[in-house]
Amino acid sequence: MNEKLPELPLNRPVRVLFVCLGNICRSPAAEGIFRQIVSENGSESLWEIDSAGIGGWHAGQLPDNRMRVHARRRGYELTHRARQVRESDFDDFDLIIGMDSGNIADLRELARTREDLAKIHSMSEWMQGIATRYDHVPDPYYEGAEGFELVLDLLENACRNLAGQI
């Protein structure tokens, strides 16, 4: 985990947007895992949580069936409907967390101001222990079952640390 995590507002809910390429695998899984963790530790009121994709190809769709199956085995029900990232997300969220360097480069292109840029982070900033072998959350779309399990391992690790930050 990074030495220096972003400072979070303490006087109101922290608004966090998870972002990946298609918003049907990694970011809706991050959203579902994070929702469950904050629900279990009773800190739901401290967060507003959403996810979005760099591309809009899958807008309106539920997460990829493979991701839903793997997530359900761990107790996460993924019900997010995909949507594309929009400029107003920079007004509506405090943290905009990309899964890989491509997502982060694309988000930086969308940012309008230095304040917008400062909201963009990498999920890897919250990864600890064995997960620090990875500096991103790899795209599972063209992978087999192991790819989806790896994504869930990395996201559970990072989401626990993010939730623990408040």
Q: Is 139 a catalytic residue?
A: yes
137-156 residues in contact with ligand 4NP (CB under 6 A) are 139, 141
Active site residue 159: no
- Interaction of residue 24 with ligand 4NP, rule CB under 6 A: yes
The residue sitting closest to ligand 4NP, measured at its beta carbon, is 22
**58 with 112: CB under 8 angstroms?**
no
Q: In the bound complex, what is the minimum distance in angstroms from residue 11's beta carbon to ligand 4NP?
A: 33
Query: Which one of 57, 108, 130, 165 is in contact with ligand 4NP (CB under 6 A)?
Result: 57
Surface-to-core class of residue 145, CB atoms within 10 Å of its CB (0-12 exposed, 13-18 middle, 19+ buried): exposed
What is the C-alpha to C-alpha distance for residues 141 and 162, in angstroms, rounded to an integer? 25
20 binds ligand 4NP (CB under 6 A): yes
Rank residues 8 and 66 by Cβ distance to ligand 4NP and give the closer one.
66
**Nearer to ligand 4NP by C-beta: 35 or 80?**
80
Residues forming the active site? 20, 26, 139
Chain residues binding ligand 4NP by CB under 6 A are: 20-26, 57, 139, 141
